[in-house]
């Protein structure tokens, strides 16, 4: 959303009117065009909103904010007959408050802009015709037609057509994804080319899109520890400030001096310095497909010293793939072996069968239906095709079927699937859970970013665990673990003083995700349990997003330190010094007061656009 549109939107109309009313009345009073009662009326109109906020904060939240300081300053200016100074101060402070309000809305607008909006209506196919219905009237199982340029209104499966879909609003991916029959589709994404028939599986609040919106909205209310700390510091400073200002008045009896001091001793920027950064960082992360559930978790991530990874589904893809095809009978080539294996496994639902069928699809191998098919439980399958009797299964199955098996093996982590035709061994398929792309690079990056300890936990055997750990560059791994063992290991690490982040799939690892200081769930599209269990949710199965999330969190807290030091510390200390030396008065103080507000705003909002290195 354009910054101009945010700052001049209708929701800020009355704030703009108050600023103009006080400003025009001050100018006309200075030119002696209007009498004092008109100026006082304009000041009362402008002061009303500040008094309302001040009273609400004081009564409901037991909080003393900048509004009380400014209200007191303006009242003192009136009682001390410094009418023009009071009115100009009020106008400038109203401008500062307006900037603060619009700043927060700019960050929220970026979230709305990022996610966009789901269409209010959809075209459904029913009884051979197309019909436009309201989204709320859709039912599970309805077939929704989405054409090029339109947003997908529901979560579902593609049942017809094909197309290129921009999934950036959900995943942060810049490259459109190709969708075909059987592909998942998500509400809020955009069909750029082609047209899709989508069978609705989720709608309304159950869609991934809606859950992302809910998570980001909830994140705004989760205060970071540093935010609570600045609120606490502000509450302690306030009585000290009033005592200081009272003492200055006791010795000087200078009303203008007191008005100027009240402006510079206000803790406004201390309250603005943190939440605005947190909101901008959460919005930035959401744009990149990283859902951070609040400022608390944003801050914790920046302090993490140890990261614990689950193996299966995190460092590995969680489903078997064919690594190698060994040809035993040289009368056949790889394509022929893959064709025979795919025919044999065509009707099988076993995960290893899916790996072989997927490999056949990758090689674009056509395979017919078998003329005969049998599943031998715990062993493999029998099938017939082109007059050949095929056997596909484990070593025991081959031996029981009197097929001679050679003693070949690629590595200890592979599962060997043997293929035989007419009692003769043709080849061996080696299948294993593949290392996730980018895992090794990600581990290197995390070490460079300051993570001292990286641990891999798995319920798998030690040999497999060692192989995967070596492949990705992890030296510390634990194997043969039950879910409760993972929790105990995390507790042990925390007991040694480590801040621990646990990365898992969000379902099997839910207890460990909760035990860790930060739980990070991988690949949450369509996985409700992942969003519930974790503090940070990566919408895509991309390991580099972990380093990205940490980079955003570290940049956010660097920005907070800059805001507090420059926007609050330097400007206010210099301002108070200049006031006490009587170099500047109330009007100049109010004008300078705009500077830290503007600095904090610009420094915070830049998180939405600035380049952040991992």
**3 state DSSP class of 436:** coil
- For residue 450, count other CB atoms closer than 10 A to its CB: 11
SS3 content of the chain, % helix, strand, coil (to 5): 55, 20, 25
Which of the four pLDDT bands, split at 50, 70 and 90, describes residue 3? very low
Return d(Cα 486, Cα 514) in angstroms, integer: 11
CA distances to 19, 36, 256, 435 from 32, rounded to whole Å, are 20, 9, 22, 79
The dihedral sign for the CA sequence 224, 536, 513, 436 = negative
Domains assigned to the chain: 3-113+216-280+553-608 (no CATH), 121-203 (2.70.150.10), 303-317+436-545 (3.40.50.1000), 319-434 (3.40.1110.10)
CB contact at 8 A, 536 and 300: no
When pLDDT is averaged across residues 215-222 and rounded to a whole number, the result is 55
Q: Where are the alpha helices (DSSP H) in 496-568?
A: 510-515, 528-533, 544-562
CB contact at 8 A, 152 and 146: yes
Q: Where are the beta strands (DSSP E) in 258-313?
A: 290-292, 306-310
Q: List, by residue number, the catalytic residues.
A: 310
When pLDDT is averaged across residues 557-582 and rounded to a whole number, the result is 82
CB contact at 8 A, 564 and 277: no
β pairing state of 500-504 and 518-521: parallel
Token pair 């200890």: residue = 412
> Residue 464: what pLDDT?
80
Which of the 8 DSSP states describes residue 481? -
Phi, psi at 461, each rounded to 5°: -70, 160
Return d(Cα 482, Cα 353) in angstroms, integer: 27
> Residue 105: what pLDDT?
62
Which of the four pLDDT bands, split at 50, 70 and 90, describes residue 383? very high
Q: Quickly list DSSP for 6-22.
A: HHTSGGGHHHHHHHHHH
For the record, the structure tokens of 181 come out as 């029959």
Q: What share of the chain in percent tops pLDDT 90?
A: 22
- For residue 611, count other CB atoms closer than 10 A to its CB: 5
Report pLDDT digits (tens) over 234-284: 666 777 888 888 899 899 988 889 888 887 776 655 666 677 788 788 888
Return d(Cα 571, Cα 596) in angstroms, integer: 7
**3 state DSSP class of 292:** strand
**3 state DSSP class of 416:** strand
Which of the 8 DSSP states describes residue 371? S
pLDDT at 4 over 60: no
Catalogue the long-range contacts made by 477-482 (C-beta closer than 8 Å, 24 or more residues apart).
481/457
When pLDDT is averaged across residues 96-123 and rounded to a whole number, the result is 63
pTM surpassing 0.75? no
CB contact at 8 A, 308 and 457: yes
Task: Say which residues have a Cβ less than 8 Å from residue 434's Cβ, sequence separation at least 6.
Answer: 316, 317, 320, 321, 323
For the record, the structure tokens of 114 come out as 């990022």
Report pLDDT digits (tens) over 427-460: 999 888 888 888 999 999 899 888 989 999 987 7
Q: Which of 578, 223, 614, 320 is nearest to 441 (CA)?
A: 614
Q: Quickly list DSSP for 372-392.
A: EEEEETTTEEEEEETTEEEEE
Return d(Cα 278, Cα 224) in angstroms, integer: 8
For the record, the structure tokens of 567 come out as 């926007």
Compute the mean pLDDT over every residue in the chain, rounded to the nearest whole number: 81
Return d(Cα 562, Cα 600) in angstroms, integer: 9
Report pLDDT digits (tens) over 305-317: 999 998 877 888 8
Q: Name the residue with higher pLDDT: 490 or 85.
A: 490
> Residue 100: what pLDDT?
63
Which of the four pLDDT bands, split at 50, 70 and 90, describes residue 472? very high
Q: Quickly list DSSP for 226-266.
A: HHHHHHHHHHHHHHHHHHHHHHHHHHH--HHHHHHHHHHT-
Report pLDDT digits (tens) over 305-362: 999 998 877 888 877 888 889 999 889 999 999 999 999 998 887 778 888 998 999 8
- For residue 272, count other CB atoms closer than 10 A to its CB: 25
Token pair 């051979």: residue = 128
Report pLDDT digits (tens) over 12-65: 788 889 999 999 999 999 899 999 999 999 999 999 888 888 788 777 766 666
Q: Where are the beta strands (DSSP E) in 244-334?
A: 290-292, 306-310, 316-327
Return d(Cα 504, Cα 568) in angstroms, integer: 40
Q: What share of the chain in percent tops pLDDT 70?
A: 81
């Amino acid at each position: 959303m354009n910054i101009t549109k945010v700052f001049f939107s209708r929701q800020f109309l009355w704030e703009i009117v108050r600023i103009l009313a006080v400003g025009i009345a001050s100018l006309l009073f200075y030119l002696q065009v209007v009498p004092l009662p008109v100026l006082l009326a304009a000041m009362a109109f402008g002061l009303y909103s500040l008094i309302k906020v001040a009273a609400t904060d004081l009564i409901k939240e037991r909080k003393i904010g900048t509004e009380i300081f400014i209200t007191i300053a303006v009242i003192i200016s009136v009682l001390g007959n410094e009418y023009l100074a009071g009115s100009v101060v009020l106008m400038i402070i109203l401008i500062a408050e307006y900037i603060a309000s619009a700043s927060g809305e700019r960050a929220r607008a970026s979230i709305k802009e990022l996610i966009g909006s789901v269409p209010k209506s959809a075209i459904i196919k029913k009884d051979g015709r197309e019909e436009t219905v309201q989204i709320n009237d859709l039912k599970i199982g309805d077939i929704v037609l989405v054409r090029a340029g339109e947003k997908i209104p529901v979560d579902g499966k593609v049942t017809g057509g094909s197309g290129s879909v921009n999934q950036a609003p959900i995943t942060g991916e810049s490259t459109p994804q190709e969708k075909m029959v059987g592909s998942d589709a998500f509400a809020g994404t955009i069909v750029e080319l082609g047209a899709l028939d989508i069978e609705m599986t989720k709608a309304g609040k159950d869609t991934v899109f809606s859950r992302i919106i809910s998570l980001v909205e909830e994140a705004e209310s989760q205060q970071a520890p540093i935010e609570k700390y600045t609120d606490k510091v502000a509450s302690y400073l306030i009585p000290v400030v009033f005592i200081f200002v009272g003492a200055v008045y006791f010795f000087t009896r200078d009303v203008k001096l007191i008005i100027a001091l009240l402006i510079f001793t206000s803790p406004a920027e201390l309250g603005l310095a943190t939440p605005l950064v947190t909101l901008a960082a959460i919005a930035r992360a959401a744009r990149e497909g990283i859902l951070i559930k609040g400022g608390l978790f944003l801050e914790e991530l920046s302090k993490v010293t140890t990261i614990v990874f689950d193996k299966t589904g995190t460092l590995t893809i969680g489903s078997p793939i064919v690594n190698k095809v060994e040809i035993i009978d040289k009368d056949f080539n790889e394509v022929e072996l893959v064709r025979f294996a795919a025919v044999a496994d065509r009707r099988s639902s076993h995960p290893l069968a899916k790996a072989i069928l997927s490999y056949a699809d990758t090689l674009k191998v056509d395979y017919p239906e078998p003329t005969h098919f049998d599943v031998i439980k715990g062993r493999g399958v029998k099938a017939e095709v082109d007059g050949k009797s095929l056997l596909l299964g484990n070593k025991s199955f081959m031996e029981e079927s009197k097929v001679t098996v050679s003693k070949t093996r690629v590595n200890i982590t592979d599962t060997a699937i043997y293929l035989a035709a007419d009692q003769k061994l043709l080849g061996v398929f080696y299948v294993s859970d593949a290392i996730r792309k980018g895992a090794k690079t990600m581990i290197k990056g995390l070490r460079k970013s300051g993570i001292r300890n990286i641990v891999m936990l798995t319920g798998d055997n030690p040999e497999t665990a060692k192989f995967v750990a070596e492949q990705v560059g992890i030296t510390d791994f634990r194997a043969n673990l039950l879910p409760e063992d993972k929790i105990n290991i995390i507790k042990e690490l925390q007991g040694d003083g480590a801040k621990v982040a646990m990365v898992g799939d969000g379902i099997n690892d839910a207890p460990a995700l909760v035990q860790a200081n930060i739980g990070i769930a991988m690949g949450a599209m369509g996985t409700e349990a992942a969003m519930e269990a974790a503090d940070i949710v990566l919408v895509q199965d991309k390991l580099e997003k972990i380093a990205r999330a940490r980079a955003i969190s570290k940049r956010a807290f660097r920005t907070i330190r800059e805001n507090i030091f420059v926007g609050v510390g330097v400007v206010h200390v210099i301002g108070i010094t200049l006031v006490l030396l009587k170099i500047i008065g109330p009007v100049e103080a109010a004008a300078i007061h705009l500077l830290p507000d503007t600095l904090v705003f610009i420094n915070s909002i830049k998180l939405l656009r600035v380049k952040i290195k991992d």
